[in-house]
Amino acid sequence: MRLVLVGPPGAGKGTQAQFIASNLSIPKISTGDIFRANVSGGTELGKLAKEYMDRGDLVPDEVTIAMVRDRLSEDDAQDGFLLDGFPRNVPQAEILKKMLAEFGVALDIVLELVVDEDEVVRRLAGRRTCSQCGRIWHVDFDDKKDDICDACGGSLYQRDDDKEETVRRRLEVYQEQTAPLVSYYAEEKLLVGVDAAGPVEEVTQRAMDALAPYAD
């Protein structure tokens, strides 16, 4: 199966991507993983990307796309893959479609993790990070009544990118950039939405049930 996973920050994409890919026995391919592999491996694309990152610049689309192409050409991706974090916009989606056509394949499905904005804010703004060991706790899910890490005794703090106003801004950016992508895949008759609220295991089961008709 060849699928793309989309969803807003806080929808649980990273967690669900791992479980879904494992259940389907296909590689989970994220742009973050691809970047790290190329940079640490010292590939030509990795060296090029590192030049931009070291300057604090965004890596150009053409470099990202070249990395994705190389990754999709690897042996473990020939029978299927799960893309997480790519494409991020309609132009990238169109490039991906052409790329796969060159390989003689096409996407089977685009799975959207659907979650209410207020739930996303609750998930992300409720996170607290330990200043000593880096472990993340949640004021609701972990029933934290104090600001002390239960693992090491360090003090907990709220990261700037977990503050409510920052989370809501990230959601605005997601809607601006990704809402057209979701519409694009809906028009392509590839989009299937899954309720991403509730326990991780329940969300995974909903996702697998949604994917079942597309399985080989």
State the catalytic residues: 13, 88, 127, 159, 170
Residue closest to 160 by CA, chosen among 199, 195, 125: 125
Q: Measured at the alpha carbon of residue 115, what is the angle toward residues 172 and 120, in degrees to the nearest 5?
A: 60
Q: CA 181 to CA 185: how far, in whole Å?
A: 6
Q: CA 33 to CA 70: how far, in whole Å?
A: 13
The answer to whether 174 and 163 are in contact (CB under 8 A) is: no
Q: How far is CA 165 from the centre of its chain?
A: 21
Query: What residue spans of 8-89 are helical by DSSP H?
Result: 13-24, 31-41, 44-54, 61-72
**For residue 98, what are its two tokens?**
């052409």
The answer to whether 61 and 99 are in contact (CB under 8 A) is: no
